[in-house]
Amino acid sequence: MTRPRHFQITYRFKKGRHVFVQPDSHMSDADAWYYACLHSGIGLTYGDNHDHQNHDVLRNHAQESGLTQVIWEELP
């Protein structure tokens, strides 16, 4: 059986610092930005391009909505 992994994601949203723990089997920068968008409530509808695999589009949408400085680390 695979041991569950947990990741701490920290981000800034409209001048506030937010931290949450996300369980997942893996994490990347793109994943962290995706989860931060969901956690912050800004949503994922960004223009006519709904390609959730396009990290640059997702990150630009997030930053235009006030979400910045997304970092993550795996918890022990």
Whether 66 has a pLDDT exceeding 80, the answer reads: yes
27-58 pLDDT, tens digit per residue, is 999 999 999 999 999 877 655 555 556 888 88
- The domain in which residue 9 lies consists of 5-74
pLDDT of residue 52: 52
* Confidence tier at 4 by pLDDT (50, 70, 90): confident
Residue 31, token pair as written in the block: 């994943």
Our separate counts of H helices and E strands in the chain read: 2, 3
Count of domains observed in the chain: 1
3-state secondary structure 51-71: CCCCHHHHHHHHHHCCEEEEE
